[in-house]
Structure 1
Amino acid sequence: MAQSPEPGMTRIVAGIDTGGTFTDLYVISGQQVRQCKVLSTPADPSKAIAEGLQRLGLDDVPIQIVHGTTVGTNAVLENKGARVAYVATSGFSDILTLGRQERTEVYRLDQPEVAPPVPDALCFEIPTRILADGTLQSQATDEDIEDLAQSISQQAPDSIAINLLFSFLRPEQEQRLADRFRSGYFVSLSSEVLPELREYERGIATWLDASVGPVISAYLDKLATRLPKAGISVMQSSGTTVSAAQASGRAVHLLLSGPAGGLAAAHLLGQQTGVEKLLSFDMGGTSTDVSLIDGQIPLTTSNRIGAWPLGVASVDIHTIGAGGGSIARVDRAGMLLVGPESAGAEPGPACYGQGGEAMTVTDANLVLGRIPENTLLGGHMPLVTGAAKAATDRLAAHLDCTRVEAARGVIRLANEHMARALRVMSVERGHHPGTCALLSFGGAGGLHACELADLLGMDRIILPAAGGVLSALGMVASRP
């Protein structure tokens, strides 16, 4: 259990944002502010957090942490979530497989097949039927529930997602099933996760919750063990926070917790600067998140995680695979491409000196002299210019151009990708970028802000002093 500060001790609060490449820390201790950025450790994100706190000398003191984590998001995108059994009303167990019959690319004839979220062997039915007006037409007997329990146990799932038709009108029917299964499984109920119409979206949200809940719970337990003196709360996708003890029970609400911290900080800076209309531009090592803030943090229920509709309220952002670690390459037709593949934290860009050989946006910036060689992360991470030049030379050979031309081409193409994303959130929604200020943050944001403003016809840029760790600052600002 976390320790509280002794009487007279200064309360220490840390916002911690775990990204795909870096883990950012923003710490407030009395009147003192400290910040730190360390390489993420994807295999065990808590390790990077402990390293960052140790670097700040805070690894063995009582501290309150507000954490934004990508653990659940990565579990969904990499298909590494828990093994889920799906329970539905009789006749409706194939809803998640059928989906909405959408075509993501309307004119593509060879549409790639998307595997159903739950295989047939893990889809089960129960004869409880609730009508659209809330009438209980039929109810499962105790024998039905025991038969269901036996069938589920034979498939050895990690968790159970229960999604009965119109369950939000009679939640006690799902609760009755949960009472039977909670002693042995992690259980998610659609009547709690997303109590509204549309059984497919409700079912997907419930499956996501059951899939990432055990993963997030295990991760937060490990983090608490690694930091026994820390009180931990977690940022939710809506920009609010929840205690670690409650977080695993609200797993689907945590899938966009990192970007939510950035928008919370952007909204705060907008209030402080008197600028209501902001295009926020958060460029990290792996991806770039953009959003339009017009007086308040924008929320939506239409976000997607990979192929799946999220359903629950979350910050309205547009994300693209263009960041400092985005890999530059030449395709078979001789065209230069940048992203969405990323070098991540391991091995990272070539200039990190960790064995990475592919050229990235960060390597291009280093070759062009736009970032220092020896002062990155306060001198804790010297860059290997020779490795960046070698990677750029390999790319230049394929393009039949000079090293500098190749580096400039990579930067220009990355900027076009990001400008297009900013247009999606502004022009396509009826807002001219010129009427907004560009709020640029993230570790790589400041390197590209001026060129993006030129491309979009914008004449105002806000560059926060803590831009490299602004999402972590937003988490501190969002604490109760």
Structure 2
Amino acid sequence: MDTGGTFTDFVLLGGEQPRIHKVLSTPAAPERAILQGIEDMGLTVALAQGELVIVHGSTVATNAALENKGARTVVITNSGIEDLLLIGRQNRPELYNLRPLPTHTALHDTPVIGVDTRLDAQGATLIPLTDETIRQTVDAVRRHDPESVAVNLLFSYLDPAAEQRLGEALRQAGYPVSLSSDILPTRGEYERGMATWLNAWLSPRMADYLARLKQHTTPAPLTIMQSNGGTIAADQAAERAVNLLLSGPAGGLNAARRLGQALGRDHLMTFDMGGTSTDVALLDGDIRLTRQGRIGPYPVAVPMVDMHTIGAGGGSLAQVDDAGLLHVGPESAGASPGPACYGQGGTRATVTDANLVLGRLQPEFALGGNLRLDPAKAHDAVARVAERLDMSVPQAAQGIIDLANEHMSQALRVISIQKGFDPRDFTLVSFGGAGGLHVCALATNLGMHQAVVPVRAGVLSAEGLVYAPRQRERIQALPADAETAHIQTLARQLERQAREELEAEGIDADRIRTETGLDLCYQGQSSVLTLPWQGEEPTQSEVAFHALHEQRYGHRLSLPVRRVNLRVRCLAEARPASPGQAPRGEGSPAWEAPVYGSAGDKSAAQNSEGNKIKIPVYRRDELGADQVIYGPALIFEPVGTIYIEADWQARVHPSAHLLLTCT
């Protein structure tokens, strides 16, 4: 089950055929929508009898960070650097603004306590931590009455003893504690401190939510998707909230990777368009991770899927500014009141309303299987935009769609062209409830000739949660003079820790495999590149690093290469049930629908009067394997609609995926 900003999605595997379901999300208490979906699917008895295994993608940590609703937190650091997290890297988001306005975040309201202790850059003790200092620190924490405490001491990744002593004393005093030497034991006190503060700030909210959810789902095992694409037991997830900030979107990438393996395509660009936002990512053989992610104003240096998110979804609001220019997003109608056509009280035009006005959504298409659409309310909402733009309602609706498409195309360029990849070498994988309506237009904008709309694309992020491996990742900064033998010893220690945690969750030891990587950079650089490492000599790693740096950035340097961090990942692949096959035979159009053609539809004969054409409408569950559908056409299912534009065709794969080709 995947909780999104507008819908909560469910996928049940294990029966003869997969079952899917959607309900409107309940952001104030996400577990309510989950329990409603379980009841709607008739799974209450199975849940009570322990016959379900639940994997959950959650937005609780993300929403708490974006809405500044974390817990009351105190930060403990070394005396003299109490303002370090506020100073940050002094990056300027407005480079040429000489008088930028200060941005107030929750970090500005966080008390910071300086502790008189210090290590040097080699991990040697300069000022020891005394028992009296610990006692004074605990007393200072009590005066702030926090819900959580973050401890971030200089160079603690070299010797965590001082942090561990402080953590033990604070836990005995009754406070949840996050230690930087546990959360992110790497160089860079700012990034390490931010990750630790975020974890302490968000973990109480995540723990409260998971406790409520477990109360209703016990005895079913409950695991949570992490931002790095693997799952973790709910009990441990509650203490690692910073690792859950991209929990839901990571599920879609797992499903896309599995899809690519099944189709023999390892160069994929994913496009996940939901009701509130659009997530795009690039898979070049495997899921790409980054340590330079951001959530709102906060940098997040823990490993997370390399994904670019923009505020463009089906619920993105259209508005005209005082200069007469049309804007779409990032503000969204969300789940409540939602687009005007939902009939939930919304009155402002959205991308979904525009698609309904153009006929690409039909009143017969019940979103989520039960949400009826109101064409009159959509028309009225778009008409108000059209009046401001002095154009017809269909033209205004098409303008909303074109602008949303351009925002999403630009996001796809960010994760491809700007990183040295040619989109034409990739297949565009479209999913999310709204993705199928825009996939042809986006592929055309980027010069791509192939796209895939997976079976159950509207709930693919939820389905991908079931495919996610159970995973632990350990990272450790390396001394500047680390020899190969030392790194090998450290790798075995990290692997043992990760394996023990997985085995404690019931994973058989023979199912666990290990992947080891090194973070490297040129002398003087602060950003790193990660390469696989099998214990080879340094020269081999350096040769591979030079080649990867040239591929990524277009050049290599004649500088020494530094080993920065060791990464060890242990994972056990999931064993989901078979998702089924497409039926044999060939489905006929269910009916013909009047649709306004887009600019690319040469057969649409669209003119200033906004003429409509009739195009065939197919039910996706009636399409047979190898059937070919020529655009323009509509294909609908309860959790999504696909608009096949003119000059495109769709072939049904034996596994029921739609393979789109530009003709």
The TM-score bracket by the shorter chain reads over 0.9
The answer on 1:246 being equivalent to 2:229 is no
- Residue of 89, 93, 96 corresponding to 2:82: 93
**2:320 aligned residue:** 330
Q: Secondary structure at the match of 2:412?
A: helix
The answer on 1:134 being equivalent to 2:134 is no
**2:17 aligned residue:** 32
> Residue 145 of structure 1 contacts residue 177 of structure 1 at CA under 8 Å; is this kept in 2?
yes
> Residue 364 of structure 1 contacts residue 410 of structure 1 at CA under 8 Å; is this kept in 2?
yes
> Residue 188 of structure 1 contacts residue 206 of structure 1 at CA under 8 Å; is this kept in 2?
yes
Unaligned 5+ runs, structure 2: 471-663
The answer on 1:476 being equivalent to 2:466 is yes
**1:157 aligned residue:** 146
Matched to 1:151, the amino acid is A
- Residue of 64, 70, 74 corresponding to 1:81: 70
Q: Secondary structure at the match of 2:157?
A: helix
CA positional deviation for 1:114: 2.2
Matched to 1:180, the amino acid is A
**1:354 aligned residue:** 344
Matched to 1:342, the amino acid is S
**2:403 aligned residue:** 413
Query: Once the two structures are superposed, what CA deviation does each residue of 1:341-361 show, in whole Å capped at 9, x if it has no partner?
Result: 000001111111111111100
Q: Secondary structure at the match of 1:29?
A: coil
Question: CA 1:110 to 1:395, structure 2 compared with 1: closer, same or farther past 3 Å?
Answer: farther
Matched to 2:70, the amino acid is G
Partners of 2:53 and 2:277 lie apart in 1 by: 28
**1:373 aligned residue:** 363
- Residue of 438, 451, 470 corresponding to 2:428: 438
Matched to 1:83, the amino acid is R
Partners of 2:468 and 2:331 lie apart in 1 by: 32
**1:114 aligned residue:** 103
Q: Secondary structure at the match of 1:309?
A: strand
Matched to 2:296, the amino acid is G
CA positional deviation for 1:474: 0.8
CA positional deviation for 1:433: 1.2
Partners of 2:110 and 2:202 lie apart in 1 by: 20
> Residue 171 of structure 1 contacts residue 191 of structure 1 at CA under 8 Å; is this kept in 2?
yes
Aligned CA-pair RMSD: 1.3
CA positional deviation for 1:139: 2.0
In the TM superposition, what are the counterparts of 1:194-343 in structure 2 within 5 Å?
Answer: 194-343=184-333
**1:4 aligned residue:** none
**1:12 aligned residue:** none
The answer on 1:64 being equivalent to 2:53 is yes
> Residue 364 of structure 1 contacts residue 392 of structure 1 at CA under 8 Å; is this kept in 2?
yes
CA positional deviation for 1:374: 3.3
Partners of 1:136 and 1:60 lie apart in 2 by: 59
Q: Secondary structure at the match of 1:101?
A: coil
**Which piece of structure 1 moves more, 197-206 or 100-109?**
100-109
Partners of 2:403 and 2:28 lie apart in 1 by: 31
CA positional deviation for 1:121: 6.5
> Residue 79 of structure 2 contacts residue 116 of structure 2 at CA under 8 Å; is this kept in 1?
yes
Matched to 1:404, the amino acid is P
Q: Secondary structure at the match of 2:239?
A: helix
**1:145 aligned residue:** 134
Partners of 2:108 and 2:94 lie apart in 1 by: 24
Partners of 1:429 and 1:95 lie apart in 2 by: 31
Partners of 1:384 and 1:110 lie apart in 2 by: 48
Matched to 2:243, the amino acid is H
Q: Secondary structure at the match of 2:381?
A: helix
Query: Once the two structures are superposed, what CA deviation does each residue of 1:384-428 show, in whole Å capped at 9, x if it has no partner?
Result: 111111111111111111111110000000000000001111111
The answer on 1:177 being equivalent to 2:166 is yes
CA positional deviation for 1:242: 0.3
Q: Secondary structure at the match of 2:334?
A: coil
Q: Secondary structure at the match of 2:45?
A: coil
CA positional deviation for 1:227: 2.0
Partners of 1:264 and 1:185 lie apart in 2 by: 36
**1:423 aligned residue:** 413
**Which piece of structure 1 moves more, 293-302 or 141-150?**
141-150
CA positional deviation for 1:479: 4.4
Quick one: percent identity of the two aligned structures?
A: 53
Partners of 2:317 and 2:72 lie apart in 1 by: 32
**Which piece of structure 1 moves more, 294-303 or 178-187?**
178-187
- Residue of 387, 390, 394 corresponding to 1:404: 394
Matched to 2:452, the amino acid is I
> Residue 261 of structure 1 contacts residue 474 of structure 1 at CA under 8 Å; is this kept in 2?
yes
CA positional deviation for 1:229: 3.3
**Which piece of structure 1 moves more, 121-130 or 342-351?**
121-130
Matched to 2:340, the amino acid is A
Output the TM-score relative to the length of structure 1.
Answer: 0.95
> Residue 409 of structure 2 contacts residue 445 of structure 2 at CA under 8 Å; is this kept in 1?
yes
Output the TM-score relative to the length of structure 2.
Answer: 0.69
Matched to 2:344, the amino acid is Q
CA positional deviation for 1:144: 1.5
- Residue of 359, 379, 384 corresponding to 2:374: 384
The answer on 1:363 being equivalent to 2:353 is yes
> Residue 75 of structure 2 contacts residue 110 of structure 2 at CA under 8 Å; is this kept in 1?
no
Query: Once the two structures are superposed, what CA deviation does each residue of 1:152-204 show, in whole Å capped at 9, x if it has no partner?
Result: 11111110000000011111211111111114212100000000000000000
Question: CA 1:406 to 1:178, structure 2 compared with 1: closer, same or farther past 3 Å?
Answer: same
**2:29 aligned residue:** 44
Matched to 1:263, the amino acid is L
Query: Once the two structures are superposed, what CA deviation does each residue of 1:19-41 show, in whole Å capped at 9, x if it has no partner?
Result: 11111111112443111111111
Query: Once the two structures are superposed, what CA deviation does each residue of 1:307-344 show, in whole Å capped at 9, x if it has no partner?
Result: 11100001001100000000000011110000000000
> Residue 68 of structure 2 contacts residue 106 of structure 2 at CA under 8 Å; is this kept in 1?
no
> Residue 178 of structure 2 contacts residue 200 of structure 2 at CA under 8 Å; is this kept in 1?
yes
Matched to 1:73, the amino acid is T
> Residue 273 of structure 2 contacts residue 434 of structure 2 at CA under 8 Å; is this kept in 1?
yes
Question: CA 1:379 to 1:289, structure 2 compared with 1: closer, same or farther past 3 Å?
Answer: closer
The answer on 1:166 being equivalent to 2:151 is no
CA positional deviation for 1:110: 4.5
**Which piece of structure 1 moves more, 203-212 or 180-189?**
180-189
**1:54 aligned residue:** 39
Matched to 2:66, the amino acid is L
The answer on 1:345 being equivalent to 2:335 is yes
Matched to 1:374, the amino acid is E
Q: Which has the larger radius of gyration?
A: 2
Partners of 2:399 and 2:276 lie apart in 1 by: 19
**Which piece of structure 1 moves more, 48-57 or 105-114?**
105-114
> Residue 38 of structure 1 contacts residue 377 of structure 1 at CA under 8 Å; is this kept in 2?
no
Partners of 2:98 and 2:216 lie apart in 1 by: 51
Q: Secondary structure at the match of 1:328?
A: strand
Partners of 1:243 and 1:379 lie apart in 2 by: 31
